[in-house]
């Protein structure tokens, strides 16, 4: 049996990515292009306010200009829609992020689809998700500059850091959400993996997971994936963030038993989490460059 798995340090990788972005932003500024990200928060949800605040802090550190827009919690769909349209028209804004969840009275689908696909910093616009699915491989995705949802993109960067070649590998994604499961499956497919998407209705889930050379767990159930489910030497990416009653944070994978079998594993916290904001910055810079090139 393996010794303990190699830890994929998301804090370290995200710090490297953010340093690269800072250098890139300085270069762009010297040529007259200042990348800009606008966030739109509706209401006073404490967790959402913290997330938005951390995104603005990250922008400031990278030299990206950020615009913070907040609407009252009782705002209606039309008010939010008009604010999105205003941001779409603003040439200083290259990326738009609508902080989710939106209050229940708002038509979230209408708001998310109102964002200009060329300013979709989150990569959730149906047009961009469709382009992601349609692309034949990662080379085409990168060449077209398709914005990719931040957490799935972060997962792929962490997998890349292991040095494991993905072509021909069996990948299993546990979870089928539009935020993580489906996009990360599309990215693994574009990296030439054979991909299985497993979920709550999957029969004999442990056996399915044991086939995985690469296992991505994104179900939102603490320690659901046990060490006995892990193939010897597999790459295990744990997207879960689950809080216990005492406030402790656990992933979807039972880290202690899984790390005895895996070749590589992400910890929680300190794995995928730090990558999400780093990828948001990367998307914003890429959208700014694409916009600049389009204007010629």
Kindly list the catalytic residues.
55, 99, 122
Helix, strand, or coil (residue 225)? strand
CA end-to-end span of the chain = 57
Question: Is the distance from CB of 226 to CB of 247 less than 8 angstroms?
Answer: no
Q: Which residues pair with 197 in a beta bridge?
A: 173
Query: Contact 39/260 with Cβ under 8 angstroms?
Result: no
If we measure between CA atoms, which residue out of 146, 80, 141 comes closest to residue 115? 80
Question: Residue 82's closest CA among 105, 108, 122, 111?
Answer: 111
Say how far apart CA 101 and CA 204 lie, in whole Å.
33
With contact defined as beta carbons under 8 Å apart, do 285 and 292 qualify? no
**H-run or E-run covering 109:** helix 108-114
Sign of CA dihedral 130, 106, 219, 155: positive
């Amino acid at each position: 049996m393996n010794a303990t798995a190699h830890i994929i340090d998301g804090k370290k990788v995200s710090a490297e990515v953010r340093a690269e972005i800072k250098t890139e932003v300085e270069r762009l500024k010297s040529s007259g292009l200042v990348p800009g990200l606008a966030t739109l928060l509706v209401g006073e949800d404490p967790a959402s306010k913290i997330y938005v605040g951390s995104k603005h802090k990250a922008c400031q550190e990278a030299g990206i200009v950020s615009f913070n827009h907040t609407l009252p919690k009782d705002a209606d769909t039309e008010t939010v829609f008009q604010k999105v349209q205003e941001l779409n028209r603003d040439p200083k804004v290259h990326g738009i992020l609508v902080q989710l969840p939106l209050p229940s009275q708002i038509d979230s689908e209408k708001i998310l689809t109102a964002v200009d696909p060329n300013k979709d910093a989150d990569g959730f616009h149906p047009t961009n998700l469709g382009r992601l699915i349609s692309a034949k491989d990662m080379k085409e995705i990168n060449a077209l500059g398709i914005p990719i949802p931040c957490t799935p993109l972060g997962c792929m960067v962490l997998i890349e850091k292991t040095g494991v070649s993905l072509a021909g590998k069996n990948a299993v994604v546990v979870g089928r959400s539009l935020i993580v499961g489906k996009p990360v499956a599309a990215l693994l497919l574009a990296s030439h993996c054979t991909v299985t998407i497993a979920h709550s209705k999957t029969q004999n889930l442990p056996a399915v997971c044991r086939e995985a050379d690469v296992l991505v767990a994104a179900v939102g159930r603490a320690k659901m994936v046990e060490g006995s489910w892990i193939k010897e030497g597999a790459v295990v990416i744990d997207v879960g963030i689950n809080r216990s009653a005492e406030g402790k944070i656990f992933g979807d994978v039972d880290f202690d038993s899984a790390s005895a079998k895996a070749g590589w594993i992400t910890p929680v916290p300190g794995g995928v989490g730090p990558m999400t904001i780093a990828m948001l910055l990367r998307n914003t810079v890429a959208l700014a460059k694409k916009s600049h090139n389009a204007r010629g």
